[in-house]
């Protein structure tokens, strides 16, 4: 587990001294990360799959060439919990470290499509798609906001929100706000 103030202790492994130095510098410059050795680290940040490195058994984030699906597959099968592109910036790397430390798995979206190409769409397409504004209203509805708060957040009238809600309910084929939220989540119209 991370120590004082929620700082996550990270050990860096890379074949290249230049890459290792760059990653260590990124870790040192972060307020939420601290450089650690193998015996006290919470997360391992490795450039490459690390297959031929003698690495500690820690939650791992691997920087890989995302286009190489065999390397990504190998890393995930080997227990790596986070895979991000070698081109990732420091913010993306830090976010991946935090996610893996929290027990989540980080997989590039484009690789996820390769893993699941034969899966049919999760739901049927709407006969009449929601407008951009209706999607904004729906997203705020999912957050639990009232019509008045939605109107305030979007700088529109409460009457306009009611009009959008009527249209959303009709397009989703539901009769209540609760059903609309359920449908929005099930159909992947909003992110949680």
The answer to whether 40 and 1 are in contact (CB under 8 A) is: no
**Comparing 4-115 with 132-186, is the CATH topology the same?**
no
pLDDT above 70 for 7:
yes
Q: What is the pLDDT of residue 2?
A: 44
pLDDT above 60 for 181:
yes
Q: What is the pLDDT of residue 38?
A: 81
Q: Please state, in angstroms and rounded to a whole number, the distance separating the CA atoms of residues 119 and 186.
A: 16
Q: pLDDT tens for residues 58-112?
A: 889 999 887 777 777 777 777 888 888 888 888 889 999 998 998 888 887 766 6
- Give the range among 25-34, 101-110, 174-183 with minimum mean pLDDT: 101-110
Band (22; pLDDT cuts 50, 70, 90): very high
Closest to 102 in 3D by CA, of 31, 43, 46, 38: 43
Q: What is the pLDDT of residue 114?
A: 60
How many other C-beta atoms can be found within 10 angstroms of the C-beta atom of residue 95?
Answer: 16
Burial letters 14-51, b for 16+ CB under 10 A, else e: beeeebbeebbebbeebeebbbbeeeebbbbbbbbbbe
> What value does the mean pLDDT take over residues 6-15?
90
- Angle at CA of residue 138, ends 157 and 117, nearest 5°: 155
Q: Spell out the domain ranges in the chain.
A: 4-115, 132-186
Per the model's pLDDT, the better-predicted residue between 50 and 99 turns out to be 99
Determine the topology of domain 132-186 in CATH.
Arc Repressor Mutant, subunit A (1.10.10)
pLDDT above 80 for 179:
yes
pLDDT above 70 for 9:
yes
The beta strands (E) that lie in the chain are given as 8-13, 33-35, 43-47, 60-64, 82-85
Token pair for 77:
């099968």
Domain 4-115: assigned CATH number: 3.40.50.2300
């Amino acid at each position: 587990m991370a120590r004082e103030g929620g700082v996550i202790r990270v050990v860096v492994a890379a074949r290249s001294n230049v890459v290792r130095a760059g990653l260590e510098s990124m870790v040192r410059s972060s307020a939420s990360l601290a450089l650690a050795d193998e015996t006290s680290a919470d997360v391992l940040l490795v450039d490459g799959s690390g297959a031929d490195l003698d690495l500690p058994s820690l939650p791992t984030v691997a920087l890989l060439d995302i286009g190489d699906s065999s390397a990504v597959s190998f890393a995930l099968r080997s227990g790596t919990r986070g895979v991000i592109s070698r081109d990732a910036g420091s913010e993306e790397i830090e976010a991946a470290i935090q996610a893996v430390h929290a027990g989540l798995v980080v997989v590039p979206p484009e690789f996820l499509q390769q893993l699941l190409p034969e899966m049919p769409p999760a739901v049927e397409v709407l006969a009449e798609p929601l407008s951009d504004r209706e999607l904004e209203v729906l997203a705020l509805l999912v957050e639990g906001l009232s019509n008045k708060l939605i109107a305030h957040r979007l700088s529109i009238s409460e009457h306009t929100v009611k009009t959008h809600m009527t249209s959303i309910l009709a397009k989703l084929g539901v009769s209540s706000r609760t059903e609309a939220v359920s449908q929005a989540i099930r159909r992947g119209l909003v992110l949680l």
